[in-house]
Chains A and B, each alone.
Chain A
Amino acid sequence: AQSVAQPEDQVNVAEGNPLTVKCTYSVSGNPYLFWYVQYPNRGLQFLLKYITGDNLVKGSYGFEAEFNKSQTSFHLKKPSALVSDSALYFCAVNMNRDDKIIFGKGTRLHILP
């Protein structure tokens, strides 16, 4: 069965420092990978996705993610964190099957001023 793992419940980063939010996946075949962000009392917002091609994808708000097929990872990164980046981040995979998109359990990112 396909699955997505976000090994860290919470990540704390000082403002201005680089941040990484980890995601690994387990699927058979070639997945489409996504990152979404959720602010308090809001729905999820799309950040970026990997379909094919360049392993480094760039998205909204200065975020980027690196697809690593050999390590089955899709870590979210940002060179310089902002306090406003504090939110809940979800990694997701879609294999276009009946169980559609599968989300990780989320990682709470806390940027310290």
Chain B
Amino acid sequence: ETGVTQSPTHLIKTRGQQVTLRCSSQSGHNTVSWYQQALGQGPQFIFQYYREEENGRGNFPPRFSGLQFPNYSSELNVNALELDDSALYLCASSPGLAAYNEQFFGPGTRLTVL
């Protein structure tokens, strides 16, 4: 059984640029959630995808967008990067939408915006 993987591990961008982060969900999981974890803070929910459709979104602007593919892998896209977007971006998969399901997290992508 393969766990959740994310790429790249680290990324450095400048303000105004665009970035795409990728996530492969754990085998058998059809639900993927994305989180932003700023330094010294807990993860903040960005959005969730279930069977290629967005299913819930946190308090993030529209320049944060995503996709889920038929194999349940997912992308997080951030346009017009701002300095405050610097954070660890975590992807998590789960076997369905039920709120009682625990989530399986990837190692994260560390994004630095200069």
Taking Cβ atoms with an 8 Å cutoff, the residues of A that contact B are: 4, 32, 34, 36, 41-46, 49, 51, 90, 92, 94-106
Contacts and interface: CB of A to CB of B under 8 A. Distances in A.
B57 interface: yes
B112 interface: no
A92 to B, nearest CB: 8
B37 to A, nearest CB: 9
Nearest to A88: B42
Interface stretch (B63-71, B72-80, B100-108): B100-108
B100 A51 contact: yes
26 contacts: A32-B99, A32-B100, A42-B108, A43-B92, A43-B108, A44-B43, A44-B90, A44-B92, A44-B103, A44-B105, A45-B105, A49-B100, A51-B100, A92-B42, A94-B99, A98-B56, A98-B58, A99-B56, A99-B59, A100-B33, A100-B56, A100-B99, A101-B99, A103-B35, A103-B44, A106-B41
A43 B100 contact: no
A7 to B, nearest CB: 14
A63 to B, nearest CB: 14
Nearest to A35: B102
Contacts of B90: 43-44
B4 interface: yes
A98 to B, nearest CB: 4
Given A94-B99, A96-B99, A102-B45, A43 B56 contact: no
Contact of A105 (B35, B41, B100): B41
Contacts of A43: 4, 90, 92, 105-108
A57 B4 CA distance: 26
A45 B90 CA distance: 12
B99 A95 contact: yes
A99 B43 contact: no
A111 B104 CA distance: 26
